[in-house]
């Protein structure tokens, strides 16, 4: 009771964590309340995912068709059982199944799509398909529905994944969701400022926790990840980012006497950030550890205490130690290809002439997805264009989240929503857009360079045209390892047998019947120029080029594979054994072999990943050939040799995360190099000699 102007007012307080005024109570605060992986903290609507998957009605319906044919999934064997109840519902509503969808009133469409249990026991097409998608245990059902599924932010938690009680707890005016949405660098400053504001009592409670948080955020900053938000999902991280996060974790552990092995930690790093990474690796070494790095980045190699170079070539031409020693030893070694590039004996030349923009542009207007600041970008068509900028500046958002997704919608009828932007102008100047990425050319041993480039089709025709094959009545299909007839049935033409390891990834062992040849004994009796089909598949591309030199269609395709530096690969090399860089170059060779109109836009994201300087030289030549045909090549790249070879640069920044997303510089490499605001320009100056 309190006295106020000699009157008494009653105020209600709670001993529990409750607010009598608003009628809200909280459970006892514990760490699990703030975890979306715990049922105590997760949003009850999306179960801690932050998103919900819903069927998109627009992609589901073809408005020009009659009702029973307008709903696309119902035309497949998996869902055609819905046609009978659908016809019954349509007739009940006073229409026929042959009525065109566009002629139905809105309320009738709503009942068909979303159901009506008041007068009809009708679940509705969309609720039924969503239920099947969630409940089905077979991949087939999910695969058939994936084209119609749209990911939407959970309306209950707004994407935070947490229940409202967890979001009601604030530290310095911010909820846990506000904090994890900050980039790492900003979060570090937030906790440093918070530490300064604490009184003595609060410091006793929170100081050690804050010190640990600040240190761990500092490790992430030191490996060049200050632009990442703390809420970023693991699936959206690049391989290089994921590896550097693991590296930051190791820094936090402060272990000694450990052997660390890293595979290209500089992937995805701007030259500015490579220095931070090198200092981090040296910090691990100075703790008393050994750090072994597989690397192609010249700056990282030059920072090493000891270098072991393997070669002299790739594939069967490699596997030997070519040079060993310090950086100076490697530079002086005449047998070292790496030393040649480090010393300057070998180099990638700056183009003598650059293509000038023709006046035709692809114009992205008002790009504002993620950290992009409502920018308008003009990509000159018919040019080799490099998109540059420090890590997290918005390059991938611009090219993949906006341009590529918009292109898929326009040319390939994709249901994916492009990132936030106003419009894209200039589509009339191109007839297709191709993303040449480093994804595998196939997931199983059935796919190989010969099948992917269609070389194998011609080879099978050659074998089918031999007198012996004709006498036996064999067609080209007999020489395919994918169909019955000529293949080994014990392994079904794979050459290997898959052995399931249950809790481990499956392993492949050589087939005991065909000894890995993929074919039965009868098929191997037919020979072309003294070689059977299995022996041809076992040839390297270099050997196959000499063998098939006199057959123009094969000679041309094999020459392209040689031009992209893949002469060491075997024609029948299984797709799962190819690196990302090899897969990407096979795709480029296939694109070069096609007849095109010169109106294709090619998109590549860091194509130099995993490539030695000598391979980068070959890659640049291939990209220039694509542009020489009149096409446009757009690469997101940090490699200075590629950037200096481009006709045009669009540099984003100036920093990563919230401090990025603006256009810093645009123009030729020489023009960008003169721009004092451009980080890329500063490093370009050193190589434009």
* Per-residue pLDDT tens over the stretch 2-22: 555 667 777 777 777 777 766
**What distances in angstroms separate CA 427 from CA 88, 404, 422, 586, one per listed residue?**
44, 12, 14, 27
Q: What percent of the chain has pLDDT over 90?
A: 62
pLDDT for res 659: 86
Q: What is the mean pLDDT of the chain?
A: 90
pLDDT digits (tens, 9 = 90+) for 293-322: 999 999 999 999 999 999 998 877 889 999
Which residue is listed with tokens 């590529």? Answer: 404
**What distances in angstroms separate CA 414 from CA 63, 148, 425, 475, one per listed residue?**
17, 9, 19, 38
Q: What is the DSSP letter of 496?
A: E
Of these ranges, 58-62, 404-408, 581-585, the one predicted with the greatest mean pLDDT is 404-408
Question: Across the chain, which distance is largest between two alpha carbons, in Å?
Answer: 118
Residue 234 has pLDDT above 90, yes or no: no
pLDDT for res 444: 80
Cross-strand bridge partners of residue 446: none
pLDDT digits (tens, 9 = 90+) for 594-652: 887 789 999 999 888 888 999 899 899 999 999 999 999 999 999 999 999 999 999 99
Distance between CA 3 and CA 5 in Å, rounded?
7
Spell out the domains of the chain, with CATH numbers in brackets.
51-153 (1.10.8.280), 361-439+582-687 (3.40.50.300), 449-577 (1.20.1580.10)
Residue 240 has pLDDT above 80, yes or no: no
Return the closest-CA partner of residue 567 out of 315, 224, 372, 228.
315
Distance between CA 496 and CA 508 in Å, rounded?
6
pLDDT for res 223: 84
What DSSP string describes 557-579?
HHHHHHHTT-TTSBTT--GGGS-
Cβ within 8 Å of residue 105, ≥6 positions away: none
Residue 306, preceding bond cis, omega within 30 degrees?
no
Structure tokens at 241: 């980012």
pLDDT digits (tens, 9 = 90+) for 657-680: 888 999 999 999 999 999 999 999
pLDDT for res 5: 60
Between 234-243, 405-414, 501-510, the lowest mean confidence (pLDDT) is in 234-243
pLDDT digits (tens, 9 = 90+) for 432-445: 999 998 888 988 88
Between 13-17, 166-170, 217-221, 267-271, the lowest mean confidence (pLDDT) is in 13-17
Distance between CA 471 and CA 668 in Å, rounded?
63
Return the closest-CA partner of residue 312 out of 291, 342, 343, 333.
333
Distance between CA 671 and CA 45 in Å, rounded?
53
pLDDT digits (tens, 9 = 90+) for 454-488: 999 999 999 999 999 999 999 999 999 988 999 99
**What value does the mean pLDDT take over residues 87-111?**
92
Q: Label residue 252 by pLDDT band (50, 70, 90).
A: confident
Q: Label residue 59 by pLDDT band (50, 70, 90).
A: confident
Distance between CA 421 and CA 406 in Å, rounded?
10
Q: Is 385 helix (H, G, I), strand (E, B) or coil?
A: strand
pLDDT for res 1: 47
Residue 64 has pLDDT above 60, yes or no: yes
For residue 214, the surrounding DSSP H or E stretch is helix 200-222
pLDDT digits (tens, 9 = 90+) for 21-54: 666 777 788 899 999 999 999 999 999 999 888 8
Q: Label residue 261 by pLDDT band (50, 70, 90).
A: very high
Residue 187 has pLDDT above 90, yes or no: yes
**What value does the mean pLDDT take over residues 502-530?**
90
């Amino acid at each position: 009771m309190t006295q106020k102007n000699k009157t008494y007012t009653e105020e209600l307080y709670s001993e529990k964590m409750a607010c009598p005024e608003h009628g809200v109570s909280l459970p006892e605060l514990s760490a699990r309340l703030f975890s979306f992986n715990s049922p105590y903290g997760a949003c009850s609507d999306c179960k801690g995912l932050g998103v919900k998957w819903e069927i998109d009605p627009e992609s589901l319906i073809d408005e020009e068709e009659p009702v029973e044919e307008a709903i696309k999934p119902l035309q497949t064997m998996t869902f055609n059982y819905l046609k009978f109840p659908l016809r019954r519902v349509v007739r009940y509503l006073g229409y026929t199944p042959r009525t065109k969808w566009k002629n139905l009133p809105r309320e009738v469409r709503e009942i068909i799509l979303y159901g009506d249990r008041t007068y009809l026991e009708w679940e509705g097409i969309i609720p039924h398909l969503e239920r099947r998608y969630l409940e089905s245990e077979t991949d087939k059902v999910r695969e058939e529905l994936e084209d119609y599924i749209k990911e939407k932010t959970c309306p209950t938690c707004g994407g935070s994944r947490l229940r409202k009680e967890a979001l009601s707890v604030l530290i310095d005016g911010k909820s846990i969701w506000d904090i994890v949405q900050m980039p790492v660098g900003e979060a570090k400053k937030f906790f440093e400022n918070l530490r300064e504001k604490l009184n003595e009592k609060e410091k006793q409670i929170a100081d050690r926790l804050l010190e640990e948080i600040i240190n761990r955020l500092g490790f992430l900053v030191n490996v060049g990840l200050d632009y990442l938000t703390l809420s970023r999902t693991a699936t959206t991280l690049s391989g290089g980012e994921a590896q550097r996060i693991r590296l930051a974790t190791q820094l936090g552990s402060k272990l000694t006497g450990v052997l660390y092995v890293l595979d290209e930690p500089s992937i995805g790093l701007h030259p500015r950030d490579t220095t931070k990474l090198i200092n981090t690796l040296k910090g691990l070494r100075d703790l008393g550890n050994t750090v072994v790095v597989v690397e192609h980045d010249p700056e990282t190699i030059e920072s090493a205490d000891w270098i072991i170079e393997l070669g002299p070539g790739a594939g069967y031409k490699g596997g030997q130690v070519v040079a060993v020693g310090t950086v100076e030893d490697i530079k002086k070694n005449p047998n070292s290809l790496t030393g040649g590039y480090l010393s300057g004996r070998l180099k990638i030349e700056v183009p003598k002439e650059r293509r000038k923009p023709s006046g035709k542009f692809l114009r992205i207007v008002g790009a504002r997805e993620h950290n992009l600041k409502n920018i308008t970008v003009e990509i000159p068509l018919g040019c080799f264009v490099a998109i540059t900028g420090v890590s997290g500046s918005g390059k991938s958002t611009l090219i993949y989240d906006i341009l590529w997704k918009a292109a898929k919608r326009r040319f390939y009828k994709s249901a994916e929503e492009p990132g936030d932007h106003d419009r894209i102008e200039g589509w009339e100047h191109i007839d297709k857009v191709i993303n040449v990425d480093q994804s595998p050319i196939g997931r199983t041993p059935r796919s190989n360079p010969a099948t992917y480039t269609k070389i194998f089709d011609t080879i099978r025709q050659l074998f089918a045209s031999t007198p012996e094959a004709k006498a036996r009545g064999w067609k080209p299909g007999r020489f395919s390892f994918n169909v019955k007839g000529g293949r080994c049935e014990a392994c079904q033409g794979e050459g290997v047998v898959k052995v399931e390891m249950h809790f481990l990834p499956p392993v492949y062992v050589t087939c005991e019947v065909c000894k890995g040849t993929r074919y039965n004994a009868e098929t191997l009796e037919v020979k072309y120029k003294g070689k059977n089909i299995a022996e041809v598949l076992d040839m390297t591309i270099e050997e196959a080029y000499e063998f098939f030199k006199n057959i123009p269609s094969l000679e041309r395709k094999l020459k392209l594979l040689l031009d992209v530096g893949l002469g060491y690969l075997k024609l029948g090399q299984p797709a799962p054994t190819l690196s990302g860089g090899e897969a990407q170059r096979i795709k480029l060779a296939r694109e070069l072999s096609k007849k095109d109109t010169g109106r294709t836009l090619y998109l590549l994201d860091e194509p130099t990943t995993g490539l030695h300087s000598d391979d980068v030289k070959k890659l640049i030549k291939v990209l220039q050939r694509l542009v020489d045909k009149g096409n446009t090549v757009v690469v997101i790249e940090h490699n200075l040799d590629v950037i200096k070879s481009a006709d045009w640069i669009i540099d984003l920044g100036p920093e990563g995360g919230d401090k990025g997303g603006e256009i810093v510089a645009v123009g030729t490499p020489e023009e960008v190099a003169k721009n004092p605001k451009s980080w890329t320009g500063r490093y370009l100056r050193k190589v434009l000699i």
